[in-house]
Amino acid sequence: MREGILHPEFADLQGKVHYVVERIRGKQWSSSCPQCGGEPHMHGEFPDRFVMYPASSSKHGITIGWCRACNYKWFPTHEYKLDPEKLELWRQDRIRRLEQDLAETQKALGFLRDEHKWQKYYANLTENQMGQSAWIGAGILEEFWWNEWQLGYDPEHVFWYDRGVWQKHVTPTMTIPVRNLQGEIINIKHRAMNPYMDDNANRYRMEYKTGLEPCFIGNLSQLECDTTWLVEGEKKAACTFIGVDRPDHQVIGLPKSPSEELVRSIPSKTIIYVPDPDVEPNMKRRILSACKGKEFRVISLPDKIDDWAIRVSATKQHFTSLLSSSRRIV
């Protein structure tokens, strides 16, 4: 893995953190911790214990860094003032590094497509009762959908975590192929059934480091639909697509902090947005802004939509009622 460069907002940390990686383009960086350190894993994976958010993407609108290992919190000593010259130098350096990273991304995609691991995980699911029970418990009851989306199961997946020293953790995982908006599989997402330290923050990991922003596509038969439902995450999207039960509707499971570029690229006239109850207002505004020019409707639920669907044993009629009662914003 190649070390990235710090955004100018983190200039005070220059020389104090190492193994910098831009985790979410323009929104989140990770590195070693200025307080407790951190070294690469023996296989070369960089430490991700210290996360940094520029003001534009942090929850509270301030520049901040936080260590998941020692809970150290960092704030800049001086208010960040834009220096156009420094920002342009940073951008040019970033472009050069992104071009280098592109070659690594293509290599990772080559492994993904050559190995077809999602097929192996799907085969595991068809033979393993525990894996099947996990997907049934998640509300995906029918084997048809397991095959349609190539959902899978890995009975013993290995993760490594940097918590002072690198620690190996083995757990069964539910696996989900994730795609780009053209429907191509660009990664495999693992949902740990026994997360490291029983911490839900450690529940999800990708199979490969591709640097690409993935999503879940519910309607693989008709990628471009006039109406698209937007939810957070793959399980929610799968449950929603099954419940909506309309071949002329699309359902997309977004990453937790999707780029506006991804949301803007959705080719639909109408967006039905179903945020989780705890989604920050700033995130809702970002989604709305990215959907400018489209009919935008919001559905508010007391639970996450997959939990709600399971709790009420939702049918197509339930989802039709949700759509009818959705609140039009623009």
Assigned domain for 103 exists: no
Q: Are residues 202 and 233 in the same domain?
A: no
Which 3 state secondary structure label does DSSP give 252? strand
Do residues 207 and 187 make contact, with C-beta atoms less than 8 angstroms apart? Answer: yes
Rounded Cα–Cα distance for residues 237 and 229 (Å): 8
Helix (H) or strand (E) holding 102: helix 84-115
Same domain, yes or no, for 176 and 237? no
In a domain, 255, yes or no: yes
Same domain, 201 and 221: no
CB 240 within 8 A of CB 305: yes
Six-digit token pair at 297? 């409707």
Does 195 share its domain with 221? no
| Shared domain check, 226 and 189 | no
Q: Is residue 112 in some structural domain?
A: no
Helices of type H across the chain: 84-115, 117-127, 129-137, 143-149, 234-244, 260-264, 281-290, 305-311, 316-324
Q: Are residues 241 and 304 in the same domain?
A: yes
Whether residue 97 is contained in a domain is answered as: no
Q: Cα-flanking dihedrals φ and ψ of residue 253, to 5°? A: -95, 110
Six token digits for residue 281? 């207002």
Residue at token pair 């083995």: 170
- Supply 100's token pair: 């280098």
Residue 190 lies in a domain: yes
Q: Which residues are bridge partners to 63 per DSSP?
A: none
Sequential pLDDT tens for the chain (330 residues)? 567 778 888 988 988 999 998 877 778 889 999 999 988 764 456 888 899 998 888 877 888 999 988 999 999 876 656 667 766 776 676 666 666 666 677 777 787 878 899 999 999 999 999 999 999 999 999 999 999 999 999 999 999 887 767 889 999 999 999 999 999 999 999 999 999 988 887 899 999 888 788 999 999 999 999 999 999 999 999 999 999 999 999 999 999 878 888 999 999 999 999 999 998 887 898 899 999 999 999 999 999 999 999 999 999 999 999 999 999 997
Asked whether residue 62 falls in the same domain as residue 151, the answer is no
236 with 199: CB under 8 angstroms?
Answer: no
Characterize the bridge pairing of strands 227-232 and 204-206. unpaired
Are 29 and 72 in a shared domain?
Answer: yes
Using an 8 Å Cβ cutoff, are 14 and 6 in contact?
Answer: yes
Tokens read off for 68 = 């998941």
Secondary structure letter of residue 44 according to DSSP = S
Q: Would you state the pLDDT for residue 57?
A: 81
* Last residue of one domain, picked from the residues 53, 81, 109: 81
| Distance (Å, whole) CA 106 – CA 228 | 29
The predicted structure's pLDDT at residue 178: 96
Write the single-letter amino acid at 103. A
Q: CATH number of the domain at 182, please.
A: 3.90.980.10
Q: Would 304 be classed as within a structural domain? A: yes
Q: Which range of residues forms the domain containing residue 160? A: 117-206
The number of distinct structural domains making up the chain is 3
One domain for residues 225 and 310: yes
Question: Is the pTM for the entire model greater than 0.85?
Answer: no
Based on the fold, state whether residues 239 and 314 are members of the same structural domain. yes
Of 180, 206, 232, the one marking the end of a domain is: 206
- Torsion sign (Cα): 271, 303, 241, 134: positive
C-beta of residue 296 within 8 angstroms of C-beta of residue 326:
no
Instruction: Choose the final residue of a domain: 206, 238, 258.
Output: 206
231 in any annotated domain: yes
Residue 299 belongs to domain with CATH number: 3.40.1360.10
**138 and 197 housed in the same domain:** yes
Domain identity same for 132 and 222: no
Is 101 inside a domain boundary? Answer: no
Give the 3-state secondary structure of residue 19.
coil
List the one residue out of 203, 206, 228 whose CA is nearest residue 217: 228
